[in-house]
Amino acid sequence: MLLGELTMKEFRKLAPKAVLVVPFGTVEAHGTHLPLNTDTLIIREAVRKIASERKEVLMAPPVQYGVCTSTAEHPGTIGITTQSLRSLVSDIVRSAYAQGLRRIVLVSGHGGGLHISAMKEASEGLVKELPGLRLAAFSIYEVLGKEAGEIAETRNDSHAGEMETSLMLHLAPGLVNGRAREEYPAFPKPLVVKDKLKYWPGAVWGNPAKATKEKGEKLFRLMVAGLEGVIRAVERAR
């Protein structure tokens, strides 16, 4: 069920038993071959599949913007601050709670460290503040498990690499524009550098050339199963 397409009457009937799933994405550079909304599109489709099959799962409209630090200087990235993301999470959950929703899943298609930390930090405060709230906040890549690593041939694959490119070949092949070159950033850790383009010019972390539609289909099934597992855990939580 799509939250934005319900009427007031339908919502009022569903809210007490429903699980609200809020997808979080980004507008972020993903190499030269993937669109800026890659994170949003992938997680949107995973949530949509479950919401289309289970009437007690409500899919909220995706939050299109996220915290993007490493790609902030790459063309096309439009990000928000951790403070803004914490505020968005807090406002959305509080408002949903006020409308009678008690089971809420916040799932991100973006795995950036500060982005996920901001979501989880806000969520920690919310579960203390709101009695009876059952809440999960995570990146979808946290629940893919070992099987995802067995599908991908590229070691240390991450941003716009083999896995994300495969997922896009499965979900939206018309938006995949060839393949960017294999790349692995070499940031001089533990230093925090200003000019990240110097160390990561292509916004790819992995090898897009190894991506296939078949791998994407397998990864997507794992993604949906992982998300379904979290939803059921929230439903069972007391």
How confident is the model over 209-235, as pLDDT tens digits? 999 999 999 999 999 999 999 999 999
Quote the CA–CA distance of 223 and 227 in Å, as a whole number.
6
Enter the DSSP assignment of 154: S
Query: Considering only 111-115, 131-135, 187-191, 228-232, which range has the smallest mean pLDDT?
Result: 187-191
Note the helical H segments in 73-176.
Answer: 82-98, 113-129, 146-151, 162-171
pLDDT at 189 over 90: no
Q: What's the pLDDT tens digit per position in 151-179?
A: 999 988 999 999 999 999 999 999 999 99
Quote the CA–CA distance of 238 and 235 in Å, as a whole number.
8
Q: What pairs with residue 106 in β-bridges? A: 22, 137
Task: Please choose, from the candidates 100, 26, 11, the residue with its C-alpha nearest in 3D space to the C-alpha of residue 58.
Answer: 11
Of residues 174 and 144, the one with the higher pLDDT is 174
Per-residue pLDDT at 37: 98
Residue whose token pair is 């393949």: 179
Per-residue pLDDT at 149: 85
pLDDT at 197 over 90: yes
Enter the DSSP assignment of 183: B
Q: Are 27 and 65 in contact (CB under 8 A)?
A: yes
Per-residue pLDDT at 30: 98
Quote the CA–CA distance of 220 and 24 in Å, as a whole number.
17
pLDDT at 99 over 90: yes
pLDDT at 236 over 90: yes
Report residue 73's pLDDT band, with 50, 70 and 90 as the boundaries. Answer: very high
pTM recorded for the entire structure: 0.95
Integer angstrom CA distances of residue 184 from 106, 120, 156, 200, 203: 29, 27, 9, 7, 9
- Please report which helix (H) or strand (E) contains residue 20, including its range: strand 19-24
Torsion of CA 174, 50, 79, 184, to 10 degrees: -60
Quote the CA–CA distance of 130 and 108 in Å, as a whole number.
22
Per-residue pLDDT at 137: 98
Quote the CA–CA distance of 39 and 42 in Å, as a whole number.
5
Torsion of CA 223, 228, 230, 235, to 10 degrees: 170
Q: Which domains does the chain have, with CATH numbers?
A: 3-236 (3.40.50.10310)
